[in-house]
């Protein structure tokens, strides 16, 4: 079978590229090795309750904001989105003191100024900076624009040093970073642009999706099929057969051969390179560079199925910390206790006031589960299951300090580790945010869509920015290599 475009992986980036190129009239085939599409958008169902795996909430979805424009293009605006509380979409708690993050830059600064009245001016300056980044993010699509150049300069600056230069109160520094378990806070590496763009989008507006992230994947896949494309599951790409400096044939499931003009891979760049059978045209330095790029940490997740009508739904995300040291979780500490938890409430069914399930997430490094990396799901040692049980107990204990009656309300507990994430999404080392970006080495850690193979492109969270907004932007950058950005911008 011959296609214009073959896409490896049905994560958000792969499906969005498939949608964009199908809309441009190309014949597209998306190949997914797992039975379920979606990658990090996958959900699972237990006892009638739907649980998310990697998707929890998005930012910048209000009218006029960038994600709204992107999701309008992808026909995703009619999904059952639920806006989080504008007076406090996020709550950061250290010990028994909580701080609310309000929607809107001015309201955000004014709300925190109630707790830090002597830092009102600094908060105003901080919010103004985030607004400038957020207002101009869309200009990244325009090569040579002032914002594109500004974004490059911010990628080369340290987020942590900016925070210390802008805010002189150590506690306020931690509070402003406290809702950032949505990225890996590494003081020695995190670029300012990543920190500012992600925080800015959530301050613009924050939204949950009733029914889970798989609704996004299914809607995109339906759109691809409606426009004549194909989305296949249980279709594992086993080899990329090259001829000269091009991919000539894609081998699927070890036997089926497919031809296409272009191949787009949403898989990790190192995994993509390992599929190439003819690699003589690669410089060894390029291969080594890709293989040695460090990944961000993963997440341990506790999925709590709750007894009916026990825990009232809270329309915000809670970030709980035992100590105000939120920039320390990027470092691996053997046998470290759980001291940070992100608490996410699933929206209740219509007419209900209580949630049916809550997710608890905490950073988890690959080193904690690496001993079982060669084992399969359902066939791991008792020691692994004891580790998960202990970790779950620690997460629940921390969350129960903020949510009265939580322990008594639990019906069933399901857990996942970076190892689970790797097995079900194909993510290298179960990384939560892809390749670790380094402000001191942006040329090494920020990858372009184009590879040394002339018809092989990359997409997904490993290239530029992670998260729903970052991956959606990257999908346009990838497809622009085929159809041109001007053509896409006219429709966007």
Could you read off the pLDDT of 370-406 as tens digits, one per residue?
A: 999 998 888 889 999 999 999 999 999 999 999 999 9
| Region of 39 on the Ramachandran plot (φ > 0 left; ψ -120 to 50 alpha; else beta) | left
Based on the fold, state whether residues 181 and 307 are members of the same structural domain.
yes
| Phi-psi domain of 265 (left: phi exceeds 0; alpha: psi -120 through 50; beta: other) | beta
Say yes or no: 198 and 219 in one domain: no
What's the predicted TM-score (pTM) here? 0.94
Asked if residue 206 has pLDDT above 90, the reply is yes
Q: What is the arithmetic mean of pLDDT over 111-127? A: 97
Helix 120-135 and helix 170-177, axial crossing angle in degrees, nearest 10 = 30
On whether residue 14 sits in a domain, the answer given is yes
Q: Which of 385, 406, 429 is the last residue of a domain?
A: 429
Cα of 433 vs its chain's centroid, Å: 6
**Whole-number Å distance between alpha carbons of 410 and 222:** 36
Indicate whether 148 pLDDT > 70: no
pLDDT of residue 143: 64
- Establish if 399 belongs to a structural domain: yes
pLDDT confidence of residue 149: 47
Q: Please provide residue 455's backbone torsions phi and psi, each rounded to the nearest 5 degrees.
A: -115, 20
Same domain, 187 and 300: yes
Mean predicted confidence (pLDDT) in 221-248: 94
Q: How far apart, in whole angstroms, are the C-alpha atoms of residue 353 and residue 347?
A: 9
Widest pairwise Cα distance in the chain: 68
Rounded (10°) CA dihedral 485, 488, 491, 492: -70
CA distance 338 to 317: 18
Looking at residue 279, what is its pLDDT?
Answer: 59
Is the predicted pLDDT of residue 15 greater than 90, yes or no?
yes
pLDDT of residue 51: 86
Are 223 and 98 part of one and the same domain? no
CATH number at residue 15: 3.50.50.60
Token pair 């179960």 in the structure block, residue: 430
Mean pLDDT of the chain: 92
Q: What pLDDT score was predicted for residue 222?
A: 97
In this structure, the answer to whether residues 282 and 388 fall within a common structural domain is: no
Q: Are strands 410-416 and 81-83 parallel, antiparallel or unpaired?
A: unpaired
pLDDT in tens, 303-359: 999 999 999 999 999 999 998 899 999 888 887 889 999 999 999 988 889 999 999
Residue 5's DSSP bridge partners are 28, 262
Q: How confident is residue 445, by pLDDT bands cut at 50, 70 and 90? A: confident
128 and 34 belong to one structural domain = no
How much is the pLDDT for 150? 59
Where residue 106 sits, what CATH number does that domain have?
A: 3.90.660
Are 421 and 447 contained in the same domain? no
User: What are the tens digits of pLDDT across the range 32-66?
Assistant: 999 999 988 988 888 778 888 888 999 999 999 99
Scanning 363-405, the segments in alpha helix (DSSP H) are 382-400
Written as six digits, the tokens of 401 are 């300090």
Residues spanned by the domain of 417: 81-210+294-429
Same domain assignment for residues 329 and 404 = yes
In-domain check, residue 58 = no
SS3 content of the chain, % helix, strand, coil (to 5): 40, 25, 35
Hey, what are 156's tokens?
A: 């080369």
Distance CA 16, CA 395 (A): 34
Q: What total of structural domains would you count in the chain?
A: 2
The answer as to whether 421 is a domain residue is yes
306, 410 contact by CB (below 8 A): yes
Place of tokens 């709300």: 111
Please list the residues that pair with 402 across neighbouring strands: none
User: Residue 474 and residue 480: Cα distance in Å, rounded?
Assistant: 10
Token pair belonging to 259: 């031809």
Boundary residue ending a domain (410, 429, 448): 429
Beta strands in 85-192 (DSSP E): 90-94, 97-101
Q: Which residues contact 335 (CB under 8 A, 6 or more apart)?
A: none
Has residue 301 been placed in a domain? yes
- DSSP run (H or E) holding 163: helix 159-166
Q: What is the pLDDT averaged over residues 234-243?
A: 93
| Residues 280 and 410 grouped into a single domain | no
Compute CA distances 319 → 100, 109, 114, whole Å.
10, 19, 19
Q: Are 282 and 247 in contact (CB under 8 A)?
A: no
In a domain, 56, yes or no: no
Same domain, 122 and 16: no
Strand ranges (E), 74-137: 81-83, 90-94, 97-101
Domain-located, residue 49 = no
Tell me, yes or no, whether 406 and 416 share the same domain.
yes
Q: How confident is the model over 272-286, as a mean pLDDT? A: 76
Task: Give the CA-trace dihedral at 340, 57, 464, 416, to 10 degrees.
Answer: 50
Q: Domain ends where: 429, 451, 476?
A: 429
Shared domain for 301 and 409, answered yes or no, is yes
Structure tokens belonging to residue 473: 């932007």
Q: Is residue 60 part of a domain?
A: no
Report pLDDT for 289.
85
3-state secondary structure at position 258: strand
């Amino acid at each position: 079978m011959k296609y214009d475009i073959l896409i490896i992986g049905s994560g958000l980036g792969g499906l969005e590229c498939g949608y964009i190129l199908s809309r441009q009239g190309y014949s597209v085939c998306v190949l997914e090795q797992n039975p379920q599409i979606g990658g990090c958008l996958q959900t699972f169902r237990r006892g009638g309750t739907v649980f998310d795996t990697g998707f929890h909430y998005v930012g910048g979805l209000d009218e006029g904001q960038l994600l709204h424009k992107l999701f309008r293009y992808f026909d995703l605006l009619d999904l059952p989105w639920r806006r989080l509380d504008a007076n406090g979409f996020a709550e950061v708690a250290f010990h028994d003191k909580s701080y609310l993050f309000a929607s809107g830059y001015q309201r955000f600064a004014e709300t925190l100024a109630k707790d830090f009245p002597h830092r009102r001016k600094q908060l105003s300056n901080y919010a103004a900076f985030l607004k400038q980044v957020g207002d101009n993010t869309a200009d990244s699509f325009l090569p040579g624009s002032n914002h594109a150049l500004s974004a490059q300069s911010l990628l080369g600056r340290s987020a942590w040093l900016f925070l210390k230069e802008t805010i002189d109160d150590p506690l306020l520094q931690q509070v402003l970073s406290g809702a950032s378990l949505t990225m890996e806070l590494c003081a020695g590496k995190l670029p300012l642009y990543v920190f500012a763009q992600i925080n800015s989008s959530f301050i613009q507006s924050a939204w949950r999706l009733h029914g889970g992230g798989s609704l996004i994947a299914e809607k995109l896949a339906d759109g691809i099929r409606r426009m004549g494309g194909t989305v296949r599951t249980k279709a594992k790409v086993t080899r990329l057969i090259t001829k000269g400096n091009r991919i000539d044939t894609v081998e699927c499931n070890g036997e089926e051969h497919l031809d296409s003009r272009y191949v787009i891979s949403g898989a990790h760049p190192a995994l993509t390179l390992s599929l190439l059978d003819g690699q003589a045209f690669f410089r060894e330095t390029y291969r080594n560079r890709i293989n040695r790029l460090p990944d961000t940490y993963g997440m341990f997740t506790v999925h709590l199925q709750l007894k009916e009508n026990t825990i009232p739904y809270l329309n915000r995300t809670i970030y709980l910390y035992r100590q105000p040291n939120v920039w320390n979780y990027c470092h691996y500490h053997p046998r470290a206790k759980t001291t940070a938890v992100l608490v996410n409430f699933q929206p209740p069914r219509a007419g209900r006031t209580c949630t049916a399930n809550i997710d608890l997430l905490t950073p988890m490094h690959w080193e904690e589960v690496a001993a079982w990396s060669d084992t399969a799901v359902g066939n791991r040692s008792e020691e692994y299951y004891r580790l998960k049980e202990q970790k779950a107990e620690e997460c629940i204990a921390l969350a129960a300090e903020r949510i009265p009656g939580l322990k008594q309300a639990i019906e069933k507990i399901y857990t996942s580790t970076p190892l689970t994430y790797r097995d079900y999404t194909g993510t290298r080392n179960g990384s939560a945010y892809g390749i670790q970006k380094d402000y001191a080495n942006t040329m090494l850690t920020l990858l372009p869509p184009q590879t040394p193979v002339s018809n092989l492109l990359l997409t997904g969270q490993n290239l530029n920015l992670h998260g729903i907004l970052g991956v959606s932007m990257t999908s346009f950058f990838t497809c622009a290599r085929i159809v041109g950005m001007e053509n896409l911008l006219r429709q966007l």
